[in-house]
Amino acid sequence: MAFSTSFLLAAPIILAAVLVVKPSVIAEKEMNLRFFMHEYFKPPHATTIKVVSTTKNNRPEIGSFGDIYVLDNPLTSRGVVGSEILGRAQGIVAVTSITNDSYYVSLNVAFGKGGPWSGSSITVLGWYQEPIGEIPVVGGTGSFRDAKGYVVLQLVSFNLTSVVGLYEMDFSLLRN
């Protein structure tokens, strides 16, 4: 009898606490962004460098299974050389396919100072297969804190003479 009486007395207090402490729901905002990543392999102004080579291939722009690259590529709003640089795509890419057409990508898209996303970044992590692929967005900082979604990365052009690649990056993000 004592148990049921104390339970009956405590039940309204517990119920009131549950009703008062409810989780807040923050609406997620959808955001679509498009950038162009310019990749330069030729010294002295290379922005992508092969740091591990598994073959005797001396051409840095041609990857082989197991090769690893470090990159710091400029991002622009247009796919034209000389366009205003909005930020940098910085990270590591590894050739993960024997057929040399797929890659493991770990990338931070970091925005410079002065733009609408000043000091913010988007983190991309996953698998990419040329010429077009979808890579997960796993987070971000600043304006993109807790971002999730994906980026469609597409090779637009690659010039073997100047050793310059151009990629279109279409982001589809959800963020708080």
Place of tokens 């151009």: 166
Residue 93's alpha-carbon distances to 51, 66, 113, 157, in angstroms, are: 10, 10, 26, 18
Give the model's pLDDT for residue 24. Answer: 52
Question: pTM of the entire structure?
Answer: 0.79
Q: For residue 100, is pLDDT > 80?
A: no
Q: For residue 15, is pLDDT > 50?
A: no
* Cβ atoms within 10 Å, residue 166: 18
> Is residue 21 situated within a structural domain?
no
Counted domains in the chain: 1
pLDDT confidence tier of residue 18, bands split at 50, 70 and 90: very low
> Is residue 16 situated within a structural domain?
no
Please compute Rg for the chain using Cα positions: 24
Contact 38, 76 (CB under 8 A): yes
Q: What's the CA angle centered on 41, arms 38 and 109, to 5 degrees? A: 40
- Report the relative pairing of strands 85-95 and 48-52 from DSSP bridges: unpaired
What is the domain range of residue 92? Answer: 29-175
Place of tokens 């990365």: 153
* Cβ atoms within 10 Å, residue 77: 14
Rounded to 5 degrees, what are φ and ψ at 21?
-95, 85
Residue range 117-136: mean pLDDT, rounded: 93
> Is residue 72 situated within a structural domain?
yes
> Is residue 17 situated within a structural domain?
no
Reduced to 3 states (helix: H, G, I; strand: E, B; else coil), residue 176 is: coil
> Is residue 12 situated within a structural domain?
no
> Is residue 159 situated within a structural domain?
yes
pLDDT in tens, 31-57: 999 999 999 998 888 999 999 988 766
> Is residue 9 situated within a structural domain?
no
Rounded to 5 degrees, what are φ and ψ at 4?
-65, -35
> Is residue 8 situated within a structural domain?
no
Place of tokens 């009956």: 8
Beta bridge partners of 167: 37, 155
Q: The CATH number of the domain where 156 resides is what?
A: 2.40.480.10
